[in-house]
Amino acid sequence: MESVYWVLNWACHRKCTHCYENRFRPYVRDALEEVVRESEEAFPKIIANLPERMTYLDLASPDDSPAGYTQKRGRIIMAGGEVLVDPVRERVLYPVLETLNAKYRNKGGVDISIQTTGDLVTEKILEELRERGIRMIAISGMDDFHVGMEGDKRKPLIKKLHEMFAKTGYAEHSTRGNFGEWQKNDGPTYLFFGATEDEWIGKIWPRGRAWDNGLSRATIKDNFCNAWSGGLNFLNHKYSGSEVSIDPQGDVFPCCLKTKAPIGNVTEEKLTDILDSLVGHPAFEAINMGHPERMGLSHGWDTDTFYEKSKTTDPKGNPYRNLCIGCDKFHEEVLAPVIEDIRQERLRAIGVTSGPLVAAE
């Protein structure tokens, strides 16, 4: 598989207005211990059920090998919440890095990245990440939605981070959007991004606190599904272009935004088994092709119906239309029980008994 986006933990030191997940927030005392322990218990099972090899065939690089395409090393992107917050860093992130490197060391390897807001980064942490084989650090808090990072306020932190990265041997990643460039660097790299107009998340997803605060500016023309980190190509795990999202409990989603119901859980079964079981299903093939408006064609929802279901009113009372809204309603009204039936059939085949998965918030 080319990419896995793994949310390690719900804990964060911020509660940003534009966040796509309400569970990303500060936790204290018993609540913090609960979410950290949840991740500690889940991550060994999740890693055991990740693909045996994190490699993929690059369709942009045909060759004369039996497979017909160049095999390349895939990546696992670890995010939160905030993966550097105490005690997530020591009890979850570092053990996960060590376990992943051990799993893939003799199987083609894996490129590991983390996303962090940047304000918790220290030289000591950068050294510790280097020692554990990190390949990229993405500083994701560079936008006006992060308190204290508005406009020129973020310049001092950016300068400080550049200096720390240079001192600890990290090279700036210069080719935006081309993750294959990682492999051309001998050591780890870094980059900056945020929810700005020029980024793919600039329109703001209709999810979580972003939705509650009426911040999404996406229209019916903004098809988040038909793009990287959307559902596009998620089923094609042997080839380039495939990515799925995993949350701290192991629930799997075809996109980072997260569909209303997970497609399975990797604490109980293998990721590739989950994906392979959905190949050929009309609704999931539509997501895979980046055309969510066609998800319901075999369930009595023509595209006109889907577009109509994609209309709503946001919490501020403004009319709103986006395909993610239609996808949510299709899951709620039609697809969730279908997904559960397919999951139970998979579990029976491997002799596992499990209750139904809980739909995403």
216 and 268 part of one domain = no
pLDDT-above-70 percentage for the chain: 95
- Could you tell me which residue, 113 or 193, shows the higher pLDDT? 113
Q: Give the pLDDT score at 149.
A: 84
Q: Give the pLDDT score at 352.
A: 86
- Position 351 in a domain: yes
- Position 145 in a domain: yes
Residue 268: pLDDT over 90: yes
Region 6-22: mean pLDDT is: 95
Q: Give the pLDDT score at 181.
A: 58
Maximum pairwise Cα distance, the chain:
60
Q: Which of these three, 192, 222, 252, is where a domain ends?
A: 222
Q: Which of these three, 222, 250, 274, is where a domain ends?
A: 222
211 and 265 part of one domain = no
Reported as a single tens digit per residue, the pLDDT across 278-326 is 999 999 999 999 999 999 999 999 999 999 999 999 999 999 999 999 9
The answer to whether 162 and 121 have CB atoms below 8 angstroms apart is no
pTM score: 0.94
List CB contacts of 4: < 8 A, sequence separation 6 or more: 50, 54, 74, 75, 76, 77, 243, 244, 245, 246, 271
- Position 313 in a domain: yes
Number of compact structural domains in the chain:
2
56 and 196 part of one domain = yes
- Position 138 in a domain: yes
- Position 217 in a domain: yes
- Could you tell me which residue, 201 or 99, shows the higher pLDDT? 99
186 confidence band (pLDDT: 50, 70, 90): confident
198 and 138 part of one domain = yes
- Position 230 in a domain: no
288 and 148 part of one domain = no
Residue 184: pLDDT over 70: no
Residue numbers of the domain that contains 350: 260-360
